[in-house]
Structure formats: C-alpha cells, structure tokens
C-alpha cells in the first residue's frame, strides 16, 4: 500500500508557521522551505503526489510547484537511496580529480551517475559547484561536506555511512526552528 502523503503534525505546524510570514495571497513565497520539509519527510524526494500536496497547502496550482522543484538541483524528482552522494564536477574540483573520484565511486558501488545501489543505500549524483572550491575535490552527503578527497578517503566515508545504514537528510527541521 502506498504511503499517504501527509505531513506529520509537527511538520504541519512548522509549515503553517512559515506560511504566516507572508501576507494572505503571497503564500507561494514559502515554497522553498516547505519543499525542503517535504523532501525530508517523504524519503528524500518529491513525487508528483507530494508536489500536489504542497500545492494544495499553499493554495497554488501544481504546475507552480513543479516549476520550482524542477529548477533547483537540491530537489530530487525521483527516488534516491538513503544516502545521496553529490560529487562536485565543476572546474576546480574537476581539475583536481573529480572525474576519477566519480569513476571510482561508480565502480565501488556498481552504479552510474544518477543511479541507486540495489540495496537502496546510495545514490550517486554529480552536481555543479558547491562553493567549497578551496578544498577541492569534494562531495556533499546530507549536510556534510567531505573535502580534499582521495579515492581512499571516499572509501572510508562511504564505508562509514554504509555501516550506520541510516537515511541522511539534506535539511533539518532545526533550520526552521532556529528562525522562529
């Protein structure tokens, strides 16, 4: 049976607090933090049902949510593993071996860029500059930057995440709470 798309009471309360920051009729302005909350609560990605649900809360058309969600690379429009491994592939990281790291991860996890491992643990995604060029090459997992990477360091990091076996979220409710 499919999981019902409905925020938990705690998250829904946060959603309403965020919406109250904007005047009536301007609730669409709350869309980015609410999409982050949705992605966090619904397994790390935004399904069409989730986006429709967000549209109904914001009282806007679903297409308006799709437009925003498909524009920003931090929103995933298809299922991802528990651990989304985002490797920067832009200039400085590329010059310092990002391509080799990506090939190494593909081989280690037996997946290609954009794919998820059979056990649902890892998804590999190459992304544009994550603003940590001074510590290139680097990758982001959840909220953590792993920097000055080598293949050995990547192995170590991935093994640690695999051992924990937990879902790593990109965002946390604490960001909202901190702003209240």
Q: Residue 168, interface with ligand FES (CB under 6 A)?
A: no
**Torsion angle of C-alpha atoms 67, 72, 75, 81, degrees rounded to 10:** 130
CB atoms under 10 Å from CB of 112, counted, come to 9
Around 20, how many Cα atoms within 13 Å sit in the side-chain half-sphere?
Answer: 9
Mention every residue, 6+ apart, whose C-beta is less than 8 A from residue 169: 40, 44, 142, 143
Is 15 or 88 the residue whose CB approaches ligand FES more closely? 88
DSSP 148: S
Is 46 or 88 the residue whose CB approaches ligand FES more closely? 88
**Contact flags string 123-142 toward ligand FES, x per CB under 6 A:** ------xxxxx--x-x----
Residue of 46, 88, 109, 121 that binds ligand FES (CB under 6 A): 88
Number of residues that bind ligand FES (CB under 6 A): 12
In whole angstroms, give the CA distance from residue 12 to residue 71. 24
Is 1 or 131 the residue whose CB approaches ligand FES more closely? 131
In whole angstroms, give the CA distance from residue 43 to residue 162. 17
Q: For residues 37 and 74, is the Cβ–Cβ distance under 8 A?
A: no
Q: Is the peptide bond before 137 cis (omega within 30 degrees of 0)?
A: yes
**Contact flags string 2-41 toward ligand FES, x per CB under 6 A:** ----------------------------------------
Q: Residue 97, interface with ligand FES (CB under 6 A)?
A: no
Is 6 or 103 the residue whose CB approaches ligand FES more closely? 103
**What is the contact surface with ligand FES in residues (CB under 6 A)?**
88, 90-93, 129-133, 136, 138
């Amino acid at each position: 049976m499919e999981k019902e798309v409905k925020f938990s009471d705690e998250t829904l309360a946060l959603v309403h607090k965020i919406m109250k920051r904007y005047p009536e009729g301007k609730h669409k302005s709350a869309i980015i933090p609410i999409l982050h909350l949705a992605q966090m609560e619904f397994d790390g990605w935004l399904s069409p049902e989730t986006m429709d649900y967000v549209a109904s809360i914001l009282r806007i058309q679903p297409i308006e949510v799709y437009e925003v969600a498909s524009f920003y690379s931090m929103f995933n429009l298809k299922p991802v593993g528990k651990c989304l491994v985002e490797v920067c592939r832009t200039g400085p990281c590329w010059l310092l071996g990002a391509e080799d790291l990506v090939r190494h991860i593909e081989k280690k996890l037996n997946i290609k860029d954009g794919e998820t491992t059979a056990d649902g643990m890892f998804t590999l995604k190459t992304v544009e500059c994550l603003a940590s060029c001074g510590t290139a090459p680097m990758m982001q997992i959840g909220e953590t930057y792993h920097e000055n990477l080598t293949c050995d360091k990547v192995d170590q990091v991935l093994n640690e995440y695999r051992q924990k076996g937990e879902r790593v979220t990109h965002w946390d409710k604490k960001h909202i709470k901190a702003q209240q």
